[in-house]
Amino acid sequence: MEAPRQAKLELRGVTLEHTNERTRQILPVMQDVDLKIYEGELVCLVGPSGCGKTTLLNAVDGLMPLAGGKILVDNRAIDGPGPDRAMVFQADSLFPWRTIVQNVMYGLELQGKLPRQQIRERALALIQLVGLSGFADHYPHELSGGMRQRVNIARALVMEPKLLLLDEPFAALDAQTREFMQVELLKIFARTRTTALFVTHQIGEAVFLSTRVVVLSARPAQIKEIIDVDLPPMRTLAMKHQPEFLKMEQRIWQLIEEEARKTGMLTVA
């Protein structure tokens, strides 16, 4: 953050609303949020449950209209989904009727810019990058949860997006696999140098992966605090037990707890 860098992603006064189709009730989800994310950064969004983290991620992906404000990628306002952004969904979002390589080929196939053979080669390269060569012709149900999640990452990365969006990608994994996948993700990012915005419920995961952690307030969400994670870029699982790490984790917990109390989710002191 020393040199004047151009923001990869910029939120300008972003306001989000959610309409309940049945009751016609319009719920304010996010109020006037400004945020800048720079090239190569991995920023995590955390906040009390139901504060609109995933909604914001969907809005950045272009899947949801804004009630106000602007979202800019490389200084250009977005209008719907685009090839400059790609989303890593949860494990069960792979198309079960497509093989692994066909799943990874999906986005490029839709674009239809490259010949099929070239798309396949790029997909295979990504499958190797996430450590799954040999499984290209398997179907998703033949893979473990952790392996499926690597495919999900490959499916997004093959698009070579300027910005990668991750929506609680490890939520469905068991605790062990989850920790290993966190390390894997950092390795993959070190190689691809992707800029990423990441939503998680797990504070430890947020601190471990991020360069910065954005703590959101209760709904309608605003940015409560941004915490710089000054851990060395090459992280190991052992760091999770270091005092600085634990201190950051505790600080974020404290912030979220304050917010959760406002919503009545947490009632006892």
Partner 1 sequence: MDVTTTKATTQNAGEPRLAPPKSFWTRNEHALLGAFAMTAFLLFWELSVVYEWVNPLFTSAPSRIATTGYDMFADGSIWPHLRVSGYEFIVGFGMAIVIGVPLGILMGWYGRLNAILDPFVSALYATPRIALLPLIMIWFGIGLESKIAIVFLGAVFPILVNTITGMRTISADFVKVARSFGASDRQLFMTVALPSSVPLLLSGLRLGLGHALIGIVVGEMYGASAGIGHMISVAGARFQTDAVMVGIIIIAGTGVALTELLRMIERRFERWRPQVGG
Binding site for partner 1 (CB under 8 A): 61-63, 81-83, 86-87, 89, 92-93, 95-99, 106-107, 109-111, 124, 131-137, 139-141, 146, 159, 177, 180-181, 183-184
* Angle between helices 175-192 and 145-157 in degrees, nearest 10: 20
Residues 6+ apart with CB under 8 A from 58: 64, 167
Nearest residue (CB) to partner 1, 90 versus 211: 90
Q: What is the closest distance, in whole angstroms, from the C-beta atom of residue 249 to partner 1 in the complex?
A: 24
Nearest approach in angstroms of CB 152 to partner 1 is 9
CB 165 within 8 A of CB 88: yes
- Report the residue number, 66 or 124, with the smaller CB distance to partner 1: 124
| Closest distance to partner 1 from the beta carbon of 223 (Å) | 25
Give me the least distance between CB of 18 and partner 1, in Å please. 15
Q: Are 197 and 163 in contact (CB under 8 A)?
A: yes
Taking the C-alpha atoms of residue 58 and residue 77, their distance in angstroms, rounded to an integer, is 15
Angle, alpha carbons 63-219-212 (nearest 5°): 75
**Nearer Cβ to partner 1, position 188 or 216?**
188
Omega prior to 220 cis, within 30 of 0 = yes
- Residues 6+ positions from 246 with CB-CB distance below 8 Å: none
Q: CB count, 10 Å around CB of 99?
A: 18
Long-range contacts of 106-115 (CB under 8 A, 24+ apart): 106/155, 107/83, 107/155, 107/156, 107/158, 107/159, 108/158, 108/159, 111/83
Cβ pair 31, 91 in contact under 8 A: no
Cβ at position 104, least distance to partner 1 in Å: 11
Q: Would you say 85 or 212 has its CB closer to partner 1?
A: 85
* Neighbour tally for 40: CB within 10 Å: 14
| Residue (38 or 106) nearer to partner 1, CB | 106
Cβ proximity of 164 and 51 under 8 Å = no
Q: How far is the CB of 75 from partner 1 (least distance, A)?
A: 21
What's the min distance (Å) between Cβ of 174 and partner 1? 12
CB nearer to partner 1: pick between 177 and 222: 177
Which is nearer to partner 1, 90 or 217 (by Cβ)?
A: 90
